[in-house]
Amino acid sequence: MKQREGRPGQKKTSGSSGESRRNDRTGRPPKPVARPAAAGEMVRQAAPPAAVERPLMTRSGERPAERVPVILESIGAGDFHLIDSGNGEKLEQYGPYRIIRPEAQALWRPSLPAHVWEKVDAAFTGDTDEEGTGRWRFPKEALGETWPLNLLGVDFLGRFTSFRHVGVFPEQIVHWSWMKDQVEKAGRPLKVLNLFGYTGVASLVAAAAGAEVTHVDASKKAIGWARENQALGRMEKLPIRWICEDAMKFILREERRGSQYDIILTDPPKFGRGPNGEVWHLFEHLPLMLDVCREILSPKAVGLVLTAYSIRASFYSIHELMRETMRGAGGVVESGELVIREAGTDGKTEGRALSTSLFSRWVPK
C-alpha cells in the first residue's frame, strides 16, 4: 500500500502512500488523466483491479477490556515542536526552519504576535485540502528540497513536498516512543510490521532499538526516501525489509504463509491506490485489514496500533472495531486522539492542544 505523499506525501492505499500520501491523508481520489480517442475508436473506462479479499473471521470470547478516552499528547521532540496555531494554520519548527502549513482544526486566533509568524523560512500555499497540491513560498531565501532532522535519535531528511507534508508526521512520536520502549525491554528481538510506512522513520526507530522490521508502502518514491533516510543515519546494516507493495495483498500473503509479528503499526489513508491500481477505501476495507492483522500477530504479541486521519468519525468507531477484532484475545484496547501541544518559540512554553488524528491500540495487558 502506498502511503503518504500526501502522509509528499500522504497515504494512498490498500496501500498507498507516497504520491499522495494522504491523497495522503485525504479524501478524494486523484483525477484520471485522459487521452484523446482516435477517430472511430470506442473509449472504455478501465476498471480498477478487484480487491483481494477473504471473509471476516467469526470471533468468539469476551471483548478486551477498554480504556477510553485516551489522549496521547506530545509537546515536540528532537528537532520538532509546534510553535503556535490559529486562523486555519500552524507555525512549526523543524530543525533550523520555521514553517507555516494549513491546519483546518486551528479554529482559534494565534497566540503569538504577527511579527513571529512573519519571520518564517517556508510557507505552504495552494489547496488547503489534505490531498490538495500547491507550492512552497520561501520568504527569506530559496531552500533545497531536503534538510536533516532527528527524532528519537534517528536521523532523517525533512522534505518540502507538493502535498504540504514534510516527510514525517511528528504526532506519531507517541506511538514510536511506546514501540521503542517495548522493543528495548522485550529481552528478545521483536518482529515489527510497519504498514503504510511512508519515509521509514518509525521503521528506523524500531530497528535501532533492536527489532527486526518489515516496512511496507505502495509508493516507490516513499520507499526510495526511506532508503535515503537509512543511509543518512548509517543504518544500512539494520535488519529492515523494504517492501513496495499493496498493503492488503502483502498481509493476506503473510497470513497464508503463516508469518507472525510481535508489533504491527498500521496507518492507512482514507482513500488510496496500490501500485497496480488497487483501490482502498478506509470504511470499506479497514475491518478486513484489522482482521488479517490479528491473524498474523504472534502468540506473544506486544501490540496492534491503528491511526486514522481525516475521517468524519468518532474514535469510538475504530475503538469498537478493534475490540471486536480482538475478541477472545484478552488484553485491553485503548483509544482516543493524538494531540500536539503548542510550545512557543522556545519549545517549552505550553499552549493549546491541537488534535491531529484518531487512534486505537490493542495491548496484551
> Using alpha carbons only, how large is the chain's radius of gyration in Å?
20
**pLDDT tens sequence across 216-226:** 999 999 999 99
**pLDDT tens sequence across 138-190:** 999 999 999 999 999 999 999 999 888 999 999 999 999 999 999 999 999 99
Whether 203 and 267 have beta carbons less than 8 Å apart is answered as no
pLDDT above 50 (res 33): no
Whether 15 and 269 have beta carbons less than 8 Å apart is answered as no
* SS3 letters across 196-213: CCCCCHHHHHHHHHCCEE
**pLDDT tens sequence across 69-96:** 999 999 988 999 999 999 999 999 999 9
pLDDT above 80 (res 271): no
**Angstrom distance (rounded) from CA 61 to CA 224:** 43
Range 227-249 average pLDDT: 96
C-beta neighbour count of 39 within 10 angstroms: 5
pLDDT score at 278: 81
**Angstrom distance (rounded) from CA 195 to CA 204:** 14
**pLDDT tens sequence across 167-177:** 999 999 999 99
**Angstrom distance (rounded) from CA 248 to CA 244:** 12
**Angstrom distance (rounded) from CA 23 to CA 304:** 24
**Angstrom distance (rounded) from CA 207 to CA 326:** 26
Percent of the chain's residues with pLDDT above 70: 84
The dihedral built from the CA positions of residue 183, 178, 281 and 47, taken in this order, carries a sign that is negative
**Angstrom distance (rounded) from CA 82 to CA 341:** 7
Where is pLDDT greater, at 1 or 72?
72
Per-residue burial over 273-303, b if 16 or more Cβ lie within 10 Å, else e, is bbbeebbbbbeebbebbbbbbbbbbeeebbb
**pLDDT tens sequence across 290-320:** 999 999 999 999 999 999 987 788 999 999 9
Where is pLDDT greater, at 328 or 31?
328
C-beta neighbour count of 256 within 10 angstroms: 10
